[in-house]
């Protein structure tokens, strides 16, 4: 057999071993893919937020790999003040004058240590103080 044939066989064998032994992840060679957390639900402890009062919104989140999850809360339309964070929940109040019934979206982003993120939202009713 020719030297070229043996050389080709050697290159093929080395590539096969090299590819078979590669480890492109941080999971100890398991080659698993990180998945984003799953937001099971978002809740509010009251049907409405009365101007100047507090309510608590909470996100119920699971992570497929059972990793720690961090939470980021926002209200894109404004008018909500996020007062006190507690793990998966936040106490919120109004930070504007509520002249009539209005609605705001409360958005939560849940992220794992690999920055895989899930987002969900809750529509909250704001009403003026009595």
pTM, two decimal places: 0.73
Average pLDDT, the chain: 84
Fold of 38-127: Immunoglobulin-like (2.60.40)
Q: Are 43 and 88 in contact (CB under 8 A)?
A: no
Domain ranges of the chain: 38-127
pLDDT for 52-110, tens place per residue?
A: 999 999 999 999 999 999 999 999 999 999 999 988 999 999 998 999 999 999 999 99
In this model, does residue 23 exceed pLDDT 90?
no
Alpha-carbon distance values, 115 to 14, 50, 60, 67, 124 (Å)? 35, 35, 18, 11, 27
- So what's the pLDDT on residue 32? 72
């Amino acid at each position: 057999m020719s030297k070229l044939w043996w050389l080709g066989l050697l290159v093929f064998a080395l590539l096969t071993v090299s590819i078979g032994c590669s480890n492109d992840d941080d999971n100890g060679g398991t080659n698993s893919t990180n998945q984003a957390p799953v937001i099971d639900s978002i809740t509010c402890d009251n049907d409405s937020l009365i101007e100047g009062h507090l309510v608590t919104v909470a996100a119920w989140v699971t992570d497929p790999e059972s990793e720690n999850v961090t939470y980021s809360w926002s209200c894109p339309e404004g008018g909500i003040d996020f007062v006190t964070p507690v793990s998966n929940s936040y106490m919120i109040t109004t930070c504007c004058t509520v002249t009539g019934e209005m609605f705001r979206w409360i958005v939560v982003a849940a992220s794992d240590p690999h920055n895989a993120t899930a987002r969900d939202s809750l529509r909250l009713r704001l009403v003026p103080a009595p």
